[in-house]
Amino acid sequence: MKTTETPAPPPAETGASVSKVDTHPDVRRPAGRKKEGAVLNVFSHGVLVIWAIMVVMPLVWAVMTSFKDDSSIFGSPWSLPDKLHFDNWARAWTDANMSGYFLNTVLVVGGSLIGTLVLGSMAAYVLARFDFPGNRFVYYLFVGGMSFPIMLALVPLFYVVNNMGMLNTIHGLILVYIAYSLPFTVFFLTAFFRTLPTSVAEAAFVDGASHTRTFFQIMLPMAKPGLISVGIFNFLGQWNQYMLPTVLNTDPDKKVLTQGLVQLAVSQGYKGDWSGLFAGLVMAMLPVLAAYIVFQRQVVQGLTAGALK
């Protein structure tokens, strides 16, 4: 019986006839995902624009109102001033004694800010760079200080400051501000000092530098972004502080700016100097805005330094 053999299929050609398979995955984003990303982008930008308007508009309105007279403030509060009344600023600066309040605030905030940064950076450097018994305990004490409400300490703080003879004094208020700001400063700078390279400090020790010289001449300049960032935060909190000076500083000649604004608001009873009040408010606001505008880049660098290391 004759069998017929089925011819074998020809071998597959290797060359141009072989269908080429794309080994590279398609990295292009699908159309649906692109659309979702665009919608999310538009939504996020819209939220940021609304938030910027909510923040900027009250500031612009306060500056605009500071150049109006009292009748224009109540008659057309949203219109531009028909005339720039610079006498509002002069009246608030001299008649309401805003100049004295401003000087007292500069002295208190300047002294407390320097003391907070110096003491806080030294404590943070030791906690971040040296291992000793009780290191974590001391660190958590500072962390716990941030969660302690200042209102619970007002009465004992009043008696402590009074017993030390520093009630109604500038230096007493400076010391209280330093103690109030140290927990956050140590917490912030401890994390920042841990991100700095240890090789630089080790090289300084090899060259014969002491711990003090290494800290002040090498490590502290390297921590400049962190110092500026925490300095801005402390400056904002201390400049706008009202509760502590109200309790610890009742001398009319040594009141700070926040107390002066309240004094200006209630000085004339129902007939308030609203134009002068807005002028004083803008005076108190301008130094804070100027400080943030000047150091905004350093603030961002200080906040992101830990994430970039």
DSSP assignment of 165-178: T-TT-HHHHHHHHH
Helix ranges, 196-242 (H): 198-206, 211-214, 220-222, 224-239
Total residue length of the chain:
309
Output the pLDDT for position 119: 95
Q: Which CATH superfamily is domain 103-272 in?
A: MetI-like (1.10.3720.10)
- Model confidence over 199-248: pLDDT tens digits? 888 888 888 888 888 899 889 989 888 898 899 889 988 998 999 999 99
Q: Chain centroid to CA 139: how far?
A: 22
Q: What is the pTM of this model?
A: 0.77
Output the pLDDT for position 31: 59
- Position 1 confidence tier, pLDDT thresholds 50, 70, 90: very low
- Model confidence over 101-119: pLDDT tens digits? 999 999 999 999 999 999 9
Select the highest-mean-pLDDT range: 114-128, 189-203, 246-260: 114-128
- Position 303 confidence tier, pLDDT thresholds 50, 70, 90: low
- Model confidence over 84-97: pLDDT tens digits? 888 888 888 887 78
Residue 296 neighbours by CB distance under 10 Å: 12
- Model confidence over 20-70: pLDDT tens digits? 444 444 455 565 666 667 777 888 888 989 998 998 898 899 999 999 988
Q: The tokens of 161 are what?
A: 């400051």
Domain boundaries in the chain? 103-272
Output the pLDDT for position 34: 67
* 184, 230 Cβ separation under 8 angstroms: yes
The closest alpha carbon to 187, from 278, 93, 118, 123, belongs to 123
* pLDDT above 70: residue 188: yes
CA dist., res. 254 & res. 167, Å (int): 11
Average pLDDT, the chain: 82
For the chain, what percentages of helix, strand and coil (3-state, to nearest 5) are there? 70, 0, 30
Stretch 141-156: mean pLDDT: 88
- Position 301 confidence tier, pLDDT thresholds 50, 70, 90: low
The closest alpha carbon to 168, from 259, 60, 55, 58, belongs to 259
